[in-house]
Structures are given as structure tokens and as C-alpha cells.
Amino acid sequence: MKCFDDVFRHYSPDIAPFMHQMFADYQASQPYKGFTIVHNVPLTQTTLMKTACLKAAGADLVVTNPSFMNEDMDAIQVLANEQVPYVPLELVKGEFDFLLDCGAELVESCYANKGIVELTRTGAMRYQQHKEFHVPIVSVDDTRLKCLETCLGTGEGVYRAITQVADVDLTNKNVLIFGFGKVGIGIAYYFSKITPNIIVVEADSGRLKLIEQRGYQSVDARQAQLVERAADKSDLIVTATGLKDIISNNYHPLAFKGKLLANAGAEDEFGFAFEAKDVLADKKPVNFILKEPTLMEFLDPIFYAHNIAIDDALNNTQTGFRALDKKTDEAIVSQWAAHHGWTVEKLNTIF
């Protein structure tokens, strides 16, 4: 693909209806004409659709790439062809009207004049820890629609990546998952299609009950011996807690040695007791070894929401951290489900 038009031809309106509609609407109205925007979202072929929409909206756009993954060189070339500047993350600094962020990586080097939109749970937690808010900070993570990406999309991507690179058939094997948030739920859902032997480690009492209700085995993360025993019996261990060094800080690494290990979070969750070679993808999010870490059908609604959250910040200028407007959130989920042949009720049984 050499230009934005190629990307839109590759991902048809059937696959990405939100992006196609947004592109048409933004071309017609140019709602962000004259706004300066820095865009820090994993740079892949799919995210080119999102940046194309922002350019069509009239924005003065700078694109960068988060630290936890390698940039797609082909995507950088498309940006160059479209005269959209790409700047490495460590060189991005200064004032912008909007920061469209992933992992709160822009907060230290960039200043937002009008608003900030954050994509991830890790980033949302970091922004919440800042005491002073001079602009609206809109979290797209604190929404129902984010589950379409992080639960279904990331879950499918992690499953697809692991099963493609694993040296063994994982059918009916023992799978241990750390964390039963949105990502962990999705991973468990997809692996349950090939094995009934799924154990989930959690510290939250409510989630421990939910794990059992979903038909999986649960282990309290605070019971180190039980966790290590489960790890020792596992064939595959996947971390999805969002917490750096959680395995090294809490459990004996010998229980994990010789297992197939994979990290599904932006942080290095296995930590200092494990070398990069011990974990698939050198400890980075395992689905990012794929050309398409998350399939476009799952990214389409969250890309749309991450862009239109700019409108949320413009329409409600109250400073501070908040989730995307609930009505907008629910409308996107309903539209996505209807388009892709799901029901909201079915989605509710998964997340």
C-alpha cells in the first residue's frame, strides 16, 4: 500500500464501516481544521485509516509510535507519501491542541491546549495519578466499546499469535492466564475454543467469582504456593494484568521455567527474573509479532471513538479525567454488533 486510498480499498466498508463513514464525514466538514494534533497509537497498516481521517478533518497532524512496539516501516512510507510527518516518540515535544495518546507516553514531553484522549488502561491509570488537570482528559478505555478491541480483538490476536508460533499443538493443553480484566477475559474466551483446561490467576474477589461463573478454574493471586503449583502444571502461561514485574515480584521463577510464556500487556509483566529469550516476542505484547496484531473489524469502532473523543472534549470543557460519553459509547457498541452479526446480549455473556 502506497497511499491512504490503498488502505481504504484494502479494508472495505464491510470490514471497517466506522472508518469509511468518518472519512466521508470529515472530508465534507473538516471539523478539526487548524487544530494541531499529535497521534501516539501503534503505527500499523490499520492505524493509517485513523490518521487518514484526522488529516481529512483538516488537522495539522504529527504521528509517532509507542515505545512498546516497533513501528511499521511500510506505514511510515505511506505517511511520507501523504505528507504526514512521522516523528520518533523520543523526539516529540512541545504544545499541541490535542494529544491522542496510548499509554500516557506524551504526558511528560507534550502540552495539550484543548484536550487529551487516552486509549489504554495503563495510560488511564497514569493520567489519573496526575494531580493537576488543565484540560479535559477523555478515556476511551473506560467504556463498553473498548471491550470490542481489548477483549475480543486483543484476545483473538493473542490467541492467533501464540498458536501460530507455538512449537506444539495447544489443543487440550493446560493454559494459565494472569489477570481477568478485559484482555484476560478475551484470551480465556478464545483459548476455551481449543481446550477446557484453563486456569486464571486473579487477586480481585469479584473477578475470582466471575472466573468460576464462566466455567474456568480460579487461583487467588495472593496464594503464591497455589499459583506456583498451577504454573508448574501448565503448558502455556500468559500474563494480562497490566502490572510490570508482577511475576518476578511475587513468584518463584523456577515454576515458570520450561513453559511457553507470553505477555499480552504493554508492560514487562514477567520482569527481571526472566530474560527476553524466555518469553515469546522478547517480552513485548505477543500479538504485535503479527502483521495485524488486532483484526480491523475490532479496531474500527475504537479508532472511531478515539478520534471523536475530541468532540467530547470540545463540547464539555470541564477539566479532569473522565470516560467517553456513555450515550456515544452505547451507540457505537449497538451499531458494531448489528453490522457484524452479533447481539448485545451475546457480547454481554463474554464481557
| pTM for this model (two decimals) | 0.84
Compute the average pLDDT of residues 232-249.
97
Question: Do 155 and 135 touch, CB atoms closer than 8 A?
Answer: no
pLDDT one-digit tens code per residue, 154-179:
999 999 999 999 888 999 999 999 99
pLDDT one-digit tens code per residue, 2-59:
999 999 999 999 999 999 999 999 999 999 999 999 999 999 899 999 999 999 999 9
Domains in the chain (CATH in brackets) are 4-139+296-350 (3.40.50.1480), 152-289 (3.40.50.720)
**DSSP H helical segments within the chain, as ranges?**
4-10, 17-29, 47-56, 73-81, 121-129, 146-147, 154-165, 182-191, 205-213, 224-232, 246-250, 296-315, 326-340, 344-350
pLDDT at position 162:
98
